[in-house]
Amino acid sequence: MAEQAPVVTIDGPGGAGKGTISGLMADRLRWHLLDSGALYRLTAQAALKHQVALDDEASLAKIAQTLDVAFPVENGQPRTLLEGDDVSRAIRTEQAGERASQVAALPSVRQALLQRQRDFCQAPGLIADGRDMGTVVFPSATLKIFLTASASERARRRHQQLQEAGVDASLSSLLKEIQARDARDTQREVAPLKPADDAITLDTTCLSIPEVVDRLTELLAQRGIAFGS
First to last CA, the chain: 24
Residues making up the binding site for ATP: 12-20
138-142: long-range pairs with CB below 8 Å, 24+? 138/1, 138/3, 138/7, 138/9, 139/1, 139/196, 140/1, 140/2, 140/3, 140/7, 141/3, 141/7, 141/8, 141/9, 142/3, 142/6, 142/7, 142/8, 142/223, 142/225
Residues making up the binding site: 12-20
225, 6 contact by CB (below 8 A): yes
DSSP 174: H
The half-sphere exposure of 58 on its side-chain side, counting CA atoms within 13 A, is 0
